[in-house]
Amino acid sequence: MNHFLALLLGFCVDLVVGDPRCLPHPVQGMGWLIGKLEPPLRAVFPKTERGELHAGVCLVLLVVGLTGLATGLVLWAAGLVHPALRAVLEVVICWQILAAKSLRTETMKVVRALERGSLEDGRRAVSMVVGRDTDQLTEEEVLAADVETVAENAADGILAPLLWAALLGPVGGMCYKAVNTMDSMVGYQNDKYRYFGRAAALLDDVCNFLPARIAGLLMCLAAYLGFDGKNAFRIFFRDRKNHKSPNSAHTEAACAGALGLQLGGTHLYFGKPVEKPTIGDPVRPICREDVKRANDLALMTSVLALVLFDIIPLLLF
């Protein structure tokens, strides 16, 4: 099967089905592999800055290499059985690397927790989708964290795997997912992972460099479909570098401008304040409806990316 067609079908399946909890997900396997490799790698290399850096590089090579090898072998073996089986597996892989519906599902749980429960319920719900400390957040801060999650994951959870799968097929998309999973597990600037996780964090930055910028621009274009496109472009070009990460602020800036919100600012991570500049202008207070609006904007951005990366190449090639 043409991998562009597999990607299109996988995108559609993801929109309809999402990530059912009753089915195993490749990210679970990647997380298991990372967890199993970390202790022996730390034991083999010296407990010095250089040693932990080298151990982290080995982790990246092993996880990405084994992920790509396993994916390629499964597809090859399926092709030996029957081409149709390989085609189905390609669609399944493309479905599994995307997170459009699950992003909406998980972030909307925060809104429902606030509506049906209490602020404490909302804090617990948002702690499942962000890395910062949440036990002292106000409702406005909970909602802002949720919107930021939608904006950031529109790039690295949807657009980036779309791009890498379009360029390198299902194997490339799965390898990107392995990089992103490593970053979410070990790419922290704390005492435990400052050196061990640096290679994973840097590789994730490299892999998301182009997708984040394309996502920001596409989100600004999508903002003309019911949001403030002009302000999205204005804030995007003004605030797209207002983040410690080289990639995160691009979609956050576009989203903040499109919705007329202010995001970013200083937050607590592992009990320590991390200073960040603000993104966007406080045109109005954030509200619960903004999480849904951010998800709508992310979906429209994803559809534009699908047309650009997949449907146009499918028609041409």
For the residues of 140-202, what is the DSSP string, one character each? HHHHHHHHHHHHHHIIIIIIHHHHHHHHHHHHHHHHHHHHHHHHHHH---STTTTTTTHHHHH
How far is residue 124's CA from residue 128's CA, in Å, rounded to a whole number? 7
Q: What's the pLDDT at 290?
A: 97
Do 262 and 233 meet the contact criterion of CB atoms below 8 Å apart?
no
In the chain, % of residues over pLDDT 90 = 86
Q: Which amino acid is at 253?
A: A
Query: For the CA atoms of 124, 128, 130, 136, what is the dihedral angle to 10 degrees?
Result: 10
For the record, the structure tokens of 218 come out as 């596409």
Point out the residues of the chain with pLDDT beneath 50. none
What integer pLDDT is reported at residue 271 of this predicted model? 59
Nearest to 308 by CA among 101, 300, 250: 300
- Specify the pLDDT at position 189: 84
96 within 8 A of 67, measured Cβ to Cβ: no
Residue 42 and residue 143: Cα distance in Å, rounded? 38
Residue 290's SS3 state is helix
Q: How is 203-258 classified by DSSP, letter by letter?
A: HHHHHHHHHHHHHHHHHHHHTTTTS-HHHHHHHHHHHTT-SSSTTHHHHHHHHHHH
| Pair 291, 129: CB distance under 8 Å | no
Q: Residue 273: its pLDDT value, please?
A: 63
- pLDDT for residue 267: 67
| CA distances to 26, 77, 297, 313 from 89, in Å | 13, 11, 30, 21
pLDDT digits (tens, 9 = 90+) for 140-170: 999 999 999 999 999 999 999 999 999 999 9
Q: Please list, in sequence order, all residues whose beta carbon lies within 8 angstroms of the beta carbon of residue 161, skipping any fewer than 6 positions away.
A: 97, 98, 99, 173, 176, 177, 180
Contact 178/64 with Cβ under 8 angstroms?
yes
Per-residue pLDDT, 317: 82
Q: pTM to 2 decimals? A: 0.93
Confidence at residue 131, expressed as pLDDT on a 0 to 100 scale: 78
Report H helices in 45-128.
49-81, 83-97, 100-116, 119-127
C-alpha 278: how far from chain center: 21
Q: Residues 127, 133, 139, 145: is their CA dihedral positive or negative? A: negative
pLDDT value at residue 274: 65
Contact, 154 vs 215, CB < 8 A? yes
Domain boundaries, the chain: 3-316
**CA 65 remoteness from chain centre:** 21
pLDDT of residue 190: 86
